[in-house]
Amino acid sequence: MKKIILFIVFLTFQQTIFAQKNQYADFIKTWNFIKYYHPDLAGRNTDADSLFLVNVEKVNPKGSFNEVIKLLMQNLDTNFSSEPITENKKDVLAVNQNFDWFRKNKKISPENKNLLNNIYKYRFDYGLLPEGKSVNDEKKYEFPKEDNLPLKYRLLTMAKIQGIVDYLFPHKYLMDKNFDSYFNILLDEAVKATTRKDFEVVLAKAVSQFQDSHALNFYTQLNYRDEILFNVSYYAPFDFQIVDNHLLVTNLIFPEICHQAHIKIGDKITEINGKSITQIIKEKSKFVPVSNHQKLLYVLSTYEDNLIWPDKLPTKKLTVQSNSGKFSTEIPFINAADKTQVSIIINYINNKNRKKNNHRLTNKDIAYFRIDQTLDFMNNVDDDKLDAKMDSILEDASHKKAIVFDMREYPDWGGFVFYYVYKYFSPVENYFHKYYEPDLKNLGTYYLRDLKYNYPEIKDKTMHPYSGKVFILVNPDTRSASEWYSMSLQKIFPKSMTIGQQTSGADGDLVKINLPGAYVLQFTGNVIFYPDNTQTQQTGIRVNEFIKYTDQDILDGRDLEFEKVLNSIK
């Protein structure tokens, strides 16, 4: 009998928590709608965060959706004197905006549906904000790193994330269609989180749902990232790269340690402490926000980020496939507190980066431009002589058999492609993209930006046709501005060949939003399509020829893109 009573008490408690979670979800959905549309809150006459924090503790687990609306609206104006906003924009992306959550909700009274509809009808025009103010402005709330956020601030954080998705993230339509349901599960986990680590697990899961490489650095802000995601305490005594379903050992940083474990260059690690590489990658994808799978593999392959390892154990048991067969071995990892050994790792990484920075295609018949090394053209050049210097460089390139734009890094100078390459080689019209920016009169929708911003205005512009071959080299590190300028190059040189791997899939401007706990959530803030509406977010830019590296190609240090170019001009 006692067991039955305890079970009934437990069931009642669970039902109460579930009911309150639903009420929190209703509260958050309503608060965000009011926050972004109601003139009092959106116009900054009433502080949205204060409205949330004062009322979220009053949420009644047994209350109705109508009571939530009443609670939030009790001190806000419901008689709007301004004229309703009218729209005259022609090309609008409105797929994200969906108010079915209240318009088709039978639990909401007709009066409250009318109230919410009126808030939207008489919504705030963010173009009226004072200079220096932005729709992206959010307060900062700092807490000791080891302390969990109080419940109301955990809920405020979750509310802001959902608000970003619903009103500020232009690629909501590409997210998992069940995001709202998954968010409610995460909301429940946030309520139950008893430690800062527990809450950071929830945050990492939520941000990963953006599937946006611009949000990648969020995990670096987690105070408990070592326990949640990666092993900052121990580093592998060898370097590696993920290829398909294994880690390919590419270098022995500590040869003696590797030899004792029978690890050699070229070995394929298929399991780590009993987990397959495929399983580990899948688990990491739940916490690492990237736009596509290729970008995920690229990030997980970066030695210094140390993300691939599934635990913090100082010794790993590895399943290895070598030329002599399959075997298991245990190998100690390098303790990050050991300064002598860490210095060896730092020297290795520095030498590796130095080789990468010096990696160039050198051939007398090829003009080669690395997108991260164009600032060098400006060295010791007076401003009034820069145009002549750049014209000279590009004129020289125009006499070569081929021009190569290596876009496998982030640009160090936007003016190189956008202004100077366009100025010398392009016709006046360079309509290479469709750029949709947030509609400040109707937040949550995006409209096509004026085409005049597609290229700079240059008085008396001339064009220098180029008859040689043009190659654009890309990979998962071709990200954001690199993708943007690559698209421009594709239009300037219509017969160019874009070769390499899938790009990062995060084209467009970066937006930053403060979250409680001193976190900053970054994400792609606008929408970039090709002129024919081909998607670039998540998919990356167009690639004419995908190049796949074999294990042996990687071990041999080959650059297959370079080889492709050289073979084409023989």
Asked whether residue 275 falls in the same domain as residue 198, the answer is no
Q: Which of 232, 231, 238, 235 is nearest to 257 (CA)?
A: 238
Asked whether residue 280 falls in the same domain as residue 394, the answer is no
Overall number of domains in the chain: 3
CA angle (69, 72, 75) in 5-degree steps? 120
- Residue 188 structure tokens: 């429940």
**Residue 213 in domain:** no
**Residue 221 in domain:** no
Asked whether residue 416 falls in the same domain as residue 449, the answer is yes
Domain that holds residue 133: 1-208
**Residue 456 in domain:** yes
Instruction: Check if the beta carbon of residue 287 is closer than 8 Å to that of residue 219.
Output: yes
Instruction: Check if the beta carbon of residue 505 is closer than 8 Å to that of residue 213.
Output: yes
**Residue 477 in domain:** yes
Q: Which of 305, 332, 351 is the last residue of a domain?
A: 351
Say how far apart CA 362 and CA 224 lie, in whole Å.
45
Asked whether residue 32 falls in the same domain as residue 138, the answer is yes
Say how far apart CA 101 and CA 105 lie, in whole Å.
6
Asked whether residue 237 falls in the same domain as residue 327, the answer is yes
- Residue 203 structure tokens: 């945050």
- Residue 254 structure tokens: 């500590």
State the angle between helix axes of 65-73 and 48-56 in degrees (0 to 180), rounded to the nearest 10.
130
Instruction: List per-residue pLDDT tens for the chain, 570 residues long.
Output: 444 444 444 434 444 444 455 689 999 999 999 999 999 999 999 999 999 999 999 998 888 999 999 999 999 999 988 888 888 888 999 999 999 999 999 999 999 999 999 999 999 999 999 888 899 999 999 999 999 999 999 999 999 999 999 999 999 999 987 888 999 999 999 999 999 999 999 999 999 999 999 999 999 999 998 888 766 789 999 999 999 999 999 999 999 999 999 999 999 999 999 999 999 999 999 999 999 999 999 999 999 999 999 988 999 999 999 998 999 999 999 999 999 999 999 999 999 999 999 999 999 999 999 999 999 999 889 999 999 999 999 999 999 999 999 999 999 999 999 999 999 999 999 999 999 999 999 999 999 998 878 889 999 899 999 999 999 999 999 999 999 999 999 999 999 999 999 999 999 899 999 999 999 999 999 999 999 999 999 999 999 999 999 999 999 999 999 999 999 998
Predicted pLDDT of residue 76: 94
Q: Report the helix count and the strand count for the chain, using DSSP H and E.
A: 20, 19
Instruction: Check if the beta carbon of residue 135 is closer than 8 Å to that of residue 43.
Output: no
**Residue 165 in domain:** yes
Asked whether residue 126 falls in the same domain as residue 200, the answer is yes
Asked whether residue 100 falls in the same domain as residue 170, the answer is yes
Q: Which of 313, 336, 351 is the last residue of a domain?
A: 351
Say how far apart CA 224 and CA 220 lie, in whole Å.
9
Asked whether residue 549 falls in the same domain as residue 416, the answer is yes
Asked whether residue 26 falls in the same domain as residue 112, the answer is yes
Quick check: pTM over 0.85? yes
Asked whether residue 400 falls in the same domain as residue 507, the answer is yes
- Residue 494 structure tokens: 């219509």
**Residue 313 in domain:** yes
Looking at residue 3, its amino acid is K
Question: Which domain CATH number covers 321?
Answer: 2.30.42.10
Say how far apart CA 14 and CA 539 lie, in whole Å.
42
Question: Which domain CATH number covers 413?
Answer: 3.90.226.10
Say how far apart CA 355 and CA 350 lie, in whole Å.
9
Q: Kindly tell me the sign of the dihedral angle through the C-alpha atoms of 440, 441, 446, 449.
A: negative
**Residue 220 in domain:** no
Return all residues near 430 (Cβ < 8 A) that are at least 6 apart: 422, 454, 455, 488, 491, 492
228, 153, 290, 205: CA torsion to nearest 10: 50
**Residue 214 in domain:** no
Asked whether residue 271 falls in the same domain as residue 420, the answer is no
Q: Cβ of 74: how many Cβ atoms within 10 Å?
A: 8
Instruction: Check if the beta carbon of residue 486 is closer than 8 Å to that of residue 407.
Output: yes
- Residue 326 structure tokens: 């399959």
Asked whether residue 447 falls in the same domain as residue 477, the answer is yes
